[in-house]
Amino acid sequence: MKAVIYRGARNIAVEEVPDPSIKAPTDAIVRITTTNICGSDLHMYEGRTSVEEGKILGHENMGIVEEVGPGVDRIQVGDRVSVPFNIACGTCRNCVDGWTSFCLRTNPTEGMDGAAYGYANMGPYSGGQAEYLRVPYADFNLLELPSGTEHEQDFTTLSDVFPTGWHGTELAGMQPADRVAVFGAGPVGLLAAHSALIRGASEVFVVDKEADRLALAGKIGATPVDFGQGDPVEQIMDNTGGRGADCGVEAVGYQAHDPAGQEHPELVLDNLAQCVRTTGGIGVVGVYMPQDPGAATDQAKEGRIPFQYGQFFTKGQRMGTGQCPVKRYNRQLRDLIITGRATPSFLVSHELPLDQAVDAYDKFDRRVDGYTKILLHPGG
C-alpha cells in the first residue's frame, strides 16, 4: 500500500510499504477513505520530536472496515467508522474511568500512559495516512457512522480535532453564557470556538495573527483578535469592560511565538492567566513535551515552562490539561453533526489525493494563505 513516511526534519515521502495484517483476535483492518494532516503532525515534521525515521504518520482517520479478527463481534466488515486517535484497551483503570487517552496497557514506552497512531512516544503503532490501518481493540475503539458518503468532511474531524476542541471547553469548566477566550485559530482552536458557541457561550474571542484563520473565526460568529495588531489581553479586556473572559482554551502549545516569530513557550499561558477573570478556568489542549531539545531556552528544553503562576494562584484560577479522551465525546458529536447542530467541516480548505501529501505538508507548515485544514484521500 501507499503511505506517508517520516524520513527526517521536513522530509516525508509517499512510499510503498507492506499492507497491515491482523495481529491479535481483537484487531480490525480499516480501508482509509479520509485521513487528515493535524497541526500536531507538524511538531514531528519540523523535527521537534523523537519520532523514529520510517514511521507512518497520521492519527486522524476514518474509513471502511475490510477485515476483522476472530475476537471482534460488534464491528463488522463493511462498517463505516471513525477511528479515535487514542488506542485504548477498554479494561484498564483509566479506560474504565473514561480516560482512554491515558490507557495503561497499550503504550510500552517508559513513562508514557496512552497510545496513538503514527505519533512520537505514543507506542509502536503505524499511522493512517495510508491506504489501510490496523486498529487494535476494534470493538472498543471504533465509532460506527451512517453508511454512504454523507458528512464525510464533518465526520473526519471526529477522530481528533472536534473532540479535542470540545475537551478544551470541558477542561476550562465552561458554562452557558460564559465569555470564552480561545488562543490559537488552528483547527483545534477553531473547533473549540465552535464547541463553545454550540454550548451556549455569550461571546467567544479567538486569538491568532493569520488572516485566513481569523476570517473563519468570524464566519462562525466568534470575535477575531489579531495579536499582530496589539496586545491580545488588552483587546479582550477592552471588549469585556475590563472584566475579562470567564474561561479560556489554550490551543497553541509549546511552540507559541510572538508576532515576530520568536518562540515563547509560556506566552499563551501568561496571556490566559491575565485575561481570564478571577476563579475562571483554563483548558490546555495545545501540546507540551516532557523534553524539547529545539526549544528557545534551557528550561524549555527540559520541559520546564515558567509562566505567571503567582498571578494564576492569586486569581484562584483552575487549569485542566492533557490529550483528549475521544470516546468521551465522539458519539455525541457525531449525532450533533447528523442533526445539523454542528458543522465542523467549515474549516476544511483542501481535499487532496495521498500522493500530494508532501506538498500539502510543506504548505501547511509554512502557513500558506488558505491552508487551514487538509484532508487526504488515499483512494484518489
Q: What pTM was computed for the model?
A: 0.97
Long-range contacts at 358-365 (CB < 8 A, ≥ 24 apart) = 358/12, 358/13, 358/14, 360/37, 361/12, 361/37, 361/41, 361/42, 361/45, 362/10, 364/37, 364/42, 365/10, 365/42, 365/45, 365/46
Please say whether the beta carbons of 216 and 191 come within 8 A. no
User: CB-based contacts of 156: which residues, under 8 Å, 6+ apart?
Assistant: 34, 35, 36, 60, 62, 82, 375
User: CB-based contacts of 222: which residues, under 8 Å, 6+ apart?
Assistant: 182, 193, 197, 204, 205, 206
What residues form DSSP beta bridges with 61? 35, 83
Between 161-171 and 187-198, two packed helices, what is the crossing angle to 10 degrees? 60
* Residue 217 three-state SS: helix
- Report whether pLDDT(297) > 90: no
Q: What is the pLDDT of residues 109-128, one digit of tens each?
A: 998 999 999 999 999 999 99
How many angstroms separate the CA atoms of 205 and 257, rounded?
19
Q: What is the pLDDT of residues 335-374, one digit of tens each?
A: 999 999 999 999 999 999 999 999 999 999 999 999 999 9
Q: pLDDT value at position 291?
A: 86
How many angstroms separate the CA atoms of 61 and 363, rounded?
21
Please say whether the beta carbons of 344 and 184 come within 8 A. no
Q: What is the pLDDT of residues 123-148, one digit of tens each?
A: 999 999 999 999 999 999 999 999 99
Question: H/E element holding 333?
Answer: helix 330-338
Mean pLDDT, range 201-229, rounded to an integer = 97
- Report whether pLDDT(237) > 90: yes
Q: pLDDT value at position 296?
A: 82
What's at 16, amino acid-wise? E
Share of the chain above pLDDT 70, in %: 100
* Residue 272 three-state SS: helix
Residues in the chain: 380
